[in-house]
Chains A and B, each alone.
Chain A
Amino acid sequence: MYAYTEYDQQLLNERVAQYRNQTERFLAGKLTDEEFLALRLQNGLYVQRHAPMLRVAIPYGMLNSAQVRVLAEISRDFDKGYAHFSTRQNIQYNWPALELVPDILEKLASVQMHAIQTSGNCIRNVTTDQFAGVATDELEDPRPWCEIIRQWSTFHPEFAYLPRKFKIAVNASESDRAAIKFHDIGVEIVKDAAGQTAFDIWVGGGLGRTPIVAEKVAEALPPKYLLSYLEAVLRVYNRYGRRDNKYKARIKILVKALGVEAFREKVEAEWAHMKDSEMDLPEAEVARMQAFFPAPAYATLADNPAELVEQRAANPGFDAWVKRNCTAHKQAGYMAVTLSLKATAVAPGDVTTEELFAIADLADQYSFGEIRSTHKQNVVLADVRQDQLFELWGKLKELGFATANIGCLTDVICCPGGDFCSLANAKSIPIAEQIQRQFDDLDYLYDLGDIELNISGCMNACGHHHIGNIGILGVDKKGEEYYQVSLGGCSGRDAKVGKIIGPSFFENDIAGVITKIIDVYVEKRIEGESFLSTYERVGMDPFKERVYAA
């Protein structure tokens, strides 16, 4: 993991002092609400339905156990005993007092954490694959590149007042678990013709009111140019992105308006002045960053040790959990374990103080003290010995993190919705619960296989509803909460925005509607076919007919 140098720490300490001063000036009436709004947003502080909400950055989802313990302490000392993992690998607190936020930041800074640029119209926390560095299908570890981008984007003096927020994601794997094509910039690590690391740059993806799949603006960009190219894209966006209408201010609208060709020309014209300068990344710098992410001290082991084989044979529940929640690993004898934060009747992504402490302990015991957050709002222990899986499973069961549903219909992505969010049209957490209750038979879920179901409480799409294989969106119909359902979305390599099935549904009918959709899939699927493939083959009509049949 990246470890702060003296100057990284100094920057953070100076930031805490700056924000403390800003808070004091606001409380003394020397900053207007609007001025403080822009400042507190750049620091992840929203004012929500019940209280402020503070979003803390987890750079590309990486945490160590000491950091998780501090997150736990904050949830205990400054919140009501819980925290919430977001769909951008960050963590949020729903009840901090505005005047105590500087103290929270100071505590975070003591373990190299912060809330810098977690909201506001600036470059946000860079995200990546939760299995970075251990995935069997990756070209190379994306995290050193993420850290390079993190440093470049942190307090970038030119890009703090962009037309709108700006999100960058990095992917290095076959399957794209970072949904890069739905980001303002998606950086894809590729190999050039000579087998050297290079980058494809995708620009203009996004969700919200206008969901758009990103377009490729640069191919096989040499690493030394990564930052100058990103800077050129940002400059073009900062200068020409719309500022008159907040719903048309994202870069996706600019790329659409200009067309990708003209957009690329503008970027290249800008870039011509920036490349081959001091901004070029020296190889030594890349090597230095890579050295922060060494393989942990793995033991020499073989895959599928005898005890694992026996334990799986003797315990169907354990076997199912290994199948669903454990992921193949680069290193023989290890697996990556996903802790499901999607048990029925728990808000997706929520964790309590005690659970956070427990996760830190488990990481120390079983996974070299490291923890990752996922954009699907779960938590990963990435380096667990296969001969210790059974023991870990037992402990996770006690904690309620062993629901063997990763990738299943009930592994729902869900925004806070009407229960917490002042922008919501409708509640979303109770909808997730309704569906989880309806589909409580694990064997049936396994039979259904991988299905992504995503729920947002309004068009802002924090719950990624557009890119769920099944998407649910809360809408407001004459003051009543209704839900629009879409099918066919996909966040991975074959990125697609789902299509709306038809008129929206009343809250109480949602579980029934999803059941009908699943029934159609089960009837129509050909042996081994996923929900998404079946939908793509048979189209919307059979689903539509069933759902709206009298």
Chain B
Amino acid sequence: MPRKIIKDRAIVEDSFTLVSEPGQLPANGDILVDIAILDDLQSELANRDGKVGIKVTGDVEPELLASHLDNLDLIAIEFPVFRDGRGYSLARILRDRLGYRGELRACGDVLRDQLFYMQRCGFNSFEPRDDRCIEDALNGLSDFTVTYQADALEKRPIYQRRP
């Protein structure tokens, strides 16, 4: 059964299959490739139908991804533990600086109470941890209606958009 994720504020089925070893490439369908094996797969990927995403951790240098962005449908940033906040900065650089507009997903130790911040940093899809209730996690996206700072969704800080 495909796993459920949150995407664009709704619970949907994940169309992507994770590929973490070069030999595992399925014949068709959407795939999420671990960045560690991306180079090995380049030629095979070119001749294949289906969407392609890559999976990275928060410590990756965004410039490394810059040349791939046009060919990617998904970037999944893995949070090894929820306390590791590097993924938030990476997401903002991808969105604000490098102009990435595809799906940006938070995966790994992803919990309800981090979702609101993640969304503001530019994530639009989330794989909440398996042992947690996804419906409950969805609520986390609406914890606040007020924000002070500029972020990936709203370029104007409060002082440029005061009611």
Residues of A within 8 A of B (CB): 5-8, 10-11, 14-15, 18, 22, 35, 38-39, 121, 151-152, 154-163, 227, 235, 238-239, 243, 273, 277-279, 281-282, 285, 288
Taking a contact as CB atoms under 8 Å apart, the answer to whether B82 and A38 are in contact is: yes
Taking a contact as CB atoms under 8 Å apart, the answer to whether A239 and B86 are in contact is: yes
Provide the residues of chain A in CB contact with B59, threshold 8 Å: 239
Taking a contact as CB atoms under 8 Å apart, the answer to whether A35 and B111 are in contact is: yes
Which residue of B83, B92, B113, B158 is within 8 Å of A151 (Cβ)?
A: B158
**CA of A5 to CA of B162, assembled, Å:** 10
The answer to the question of B43 belonging to the interface, with a C-beta cut-off of 8 Å to chain A, is no
| Contact A158 B159, CB 8 Å, known A10-B145, A14-B143, A14-B146 | no
* Segment among B5-13, B23-31, B100-108, B147-155 that sits at the interface with chain A: B147-155
Chain A: minimal CB distance from B115 (Å): 11
Listed by A's residue number, 18 A-B pairs whose Cβ atoms lie within 8 Å are: A7-B146, A8-B146, A11-B144, A39-B113, A156-B149, A157-B116, A157-B118, A158-B121, A160-B114, A161-B85, A162-B85, A238-B89, A239-B89, A277-B155, A278-B155, A279-B157, A282-B160, A285-B159
Q: Give per-residue flags for B66-110: 1 if the beta carbon is below 8 A from chain A beta carbons, else 0.
A: 000000000000000011111011101000110000000000000
Describe B's contact surface by its main secondary structure.
loop
**CA of A371 to CA of B143, assembled, Å:** 33
**CA of A277 to CA of B85, assembled, Å:** 24
Provide the residues of chain A in CB contact with B163, threshold 8 Å: 6-7
**CA of A227 to CA of B158, assembled, Å:** 13
| Complex: chain B residue closest to A158, CB-CB | B88
| Complex: chain B residue closest to A12, CB-CB | B146
The answer to the question of B16 belonging to the interface, with a C-beta cut-off of 8 Å to chain A, is no
| Contact A121 B149, CB 8 Å, known A157-B117, A158-B92 | no
Q: Output the residue of A10, A154, A156 with the most chain B CB within 10 A.
A: A156
Provide the residues of chain A in CB contact with B158, threshold 8 Å: 7, 151
Taking a contact as CB atoms under 8 Å apart, the answer to whether B150 and A161 are in contact is: no
**CA of A238 to CA of B156, assembled, Å:** 22
| Complex: chain A residue closest to B146, CB-CB | A11
| Complex: chain A residue closest to B152, CB-CB | A157
Taking a contact as CB atoms under 8 Å apart, the answer to whether A155 and B157 are in contact is: no
**CA of A158 to CA of B114, assembled, Å:** 11
| Contact A161 B82, CB 8 Å, known A11-B144, A278-B157, A278-B160 | yes
| Complex: chain B residue closest to A227, CB-CB | B157
